[in-house]
Amino acid sequence: MNRRRLFTVAMLVLMLALIGLWLSYAKLKPKNELMREALSSLNHKDIEFYGKVVDQSGVPIPNVNVTGSVIYNSGFASGVDIRHTTTDAAGLFSFKGMKGRTFDYHLEKPGYETMPEGDAFDYTELVPEERRHHPDPRRPVLLKMWKLQGAEPLIHSGKSFDLPPDGTPVRIDLRARKQVQTGGDLVFTLKHEVWPQGTIHHPYDWRATIEAVDGGLLEDKSRVKNLAPEEGYVRNLVFEESASQRPHHGGVDTECYLKLRGNTFGKLTIHLNPSPGSQPSYVGLGWWLNPKPGSRNLEYDPAKQASAR
């Protein structure tokens, strides 16, 4: 047997011995410790994040205070790692040297309001590959802040209104905070079945319409609504569900911009609750109206509450 063959045989014997030792070690190791090691391998990842902060016009914002937070669970320890930095003259910032499963951020600078785009950024291998964030310093994540222009007096209020289930229109005057017979700002109609007493709850058909009396509505669920759009409004919004629809929500929560009589603008939150049982159906509204004709400024300062009339 030549030396090369002897060396190969020796290496195979050594590898088999090492494998045997590892298997023995694994058997001796507590199961929970093996699980912690597996969790650490999948969930405790190196985290780098590169971002760029701009305003609503795309202009980079320097000197923004950025808080980066990483949630970690290595199997051996869990918690939140919080660090701080500021943006440079080009609005750029980065975080490096952190480990965990998700990265989240908070932006802060006087005169600006954060405009969050979505959920935290996943790095963990416990989510599908397409959901994981892959940092690239050449392509920083674009994060937006709203540069405040200065609040104007707004009419801010809210109220709930009962809605008949037979499609009878309910006309609402937002400034007066009441239901009216003519005029007003919005008209709600709702249709759904009514259950006899003792009926077991089950999915049901329902349909609701919201009409702007002399203007339009523009559905928009973004968190910051400081400037009403000039265009894109529609006269009616329609919401409906069938009994077979899954999931069946049995109502709707949404937000929209308003264009109202006198060329005035506002924003509206809507909680619509159809109820075929013993409780009445209703819509809960919250609104912010700028009474100044033509002004689309919806920045709100509680100290500048405008009069409803």
Residue 278: per-residue pLDDT: 81
Conformational region of residue 100, where left means phi above 0, alpha means psi within -120 to 50, and beta covers everything else: left
What tokens were used for 186?
A: 């919005």
Residue 21: per-residue pLDDT: 55
Element (DSSP H or E) covering residue 89: none
Unique residue bearing structure tokens 């930095």: 85
Contact status, residue 22 vs residue 15, Cβ threshold 8 Å: no
Mean per-residue pLDDT over the chain, rounded: 87
Domain 41-147: top CATH class: mainly beta
Residue 34: per-residue pLDDT: 52
Contact status, residue 307 vs residue 292, Cβ threshold 8 Å: no
Distance CA 177, CA 284 (A): 12
Residue 24: per-residue pLDDT: 58
Positions in the chain short of pLDDT 70:
1-43, 75, 116-118, 309
65-82: b or e for each residue (b if 16 or more CB lie within 10 Å)? ebebbbbbbbbeeeeebe
Which residues, in sequence order, are CB contacts of 238 under 8 Å at separation 6+? 207, 208, 209, 210
Distance CA 254, CA 141 (A): 27
Residue 72: per-residue pLDDT: 82
Every domain range in the chain assigned CATH 2.60.40.10: 41-147
Residue 176: per-residue pLDDT: 93
117: three-class secondary structure by DSSP: coil
**Backbone angles phi and psi of 201, in degrees to 5:** -60, 135
HSE of 189, CA atoms in CB hemisphere, 13 A: 12
